[in-house]
Amino acid sequence: MVDRPRIGIIVSTTRQGRFADAPLKWLVDIASKRNDADFEVVDLRDYPMPFFEEMGSPFYVPPANEVAKKWAGKIDSLDGYIFITAEYNHSISGVLKNALDYVYREFNRKPATFLSYGGTGGTRAVEHLRHILAELQVASLKWNVTLGMTELLGIMREGKTMADYPYLVETAEKMLDDLVWWTDALRDARRSKAKLAA
């Protein structure tokens, strides 16, 4: 039986007309050519959660909200993550931060990387996100894809597409190679060390 790791591509902005869809489609095309992992899009539009109003942190209390339960279940079912993230005021979107606040154990001891975009490649958002993920016991990885002003303005204003920036493909493949390695390694470790972790 094929036992490929499952990797979620998390789309973390939800507004109408979001830029996220351009890199999402591009990344899904690249990822779907691989046979070493199964990739799945996890769009926060499909998980419309209220601002966090639970009894406590999910570290102590599982969420009661039904959508949050579904979101936590989805995160639990995955072995690794790619966050497609914009930069909102030098950080991640409020929607993503809210979603992260609802989940704890389901993220633990799994790896994540990033496809970010913004004036400076969305890098400030990624660095904030790494801090948040540290608390969730997610291993955040070095290799990621950044889209800066050139690509953003080209796509938003000049009718270009991701195909006009072919140099990004190599970076994406390196990112995926590395993520799959970590996803395999940490999945094996979680399985073999399950008793210790309990």
Ligand X SMILES: Cc1cc2nc3c(=O)[nH]c(=O)nc-3n(C[C@H](O)[C@H](O)[C@H](O)COP(=O)(O)O)c2cc1C
Residues found near ligand X in the complex (CB under 6 A): 13, 15, 18-20, 86-90, 118-120
Q: For the chain, how are helix, strand and coil distributed in percent, rounded to 5?
A: 45, 15, 35
Q: Which is nearer to ligand X, 90 or 174 (CB)?
A: 90
CB proximity list for 7: less than 8 A, separation 6 or greater: 31, 37, 38, 39, 40, 78, 79, 80, 81, 82, 179, 180, 183
Cβ 10 to ligand X shortest distance, Å: 13
Least separation in angstroms between CB 35 and ligand X: 30
Q: Which is nearer to ligand X, 7 or 44 (CB)?
A: 44
Q: What is the CA radius of gyration of the chain?
A: 17
Smallest distance, Å, CB 129 to ligand X? 13
CB closer to ligand X, 15 vs 193: 15
| Beta carbon of residue 148, minimum distance to ligand X (angstroms, whole number) | 9
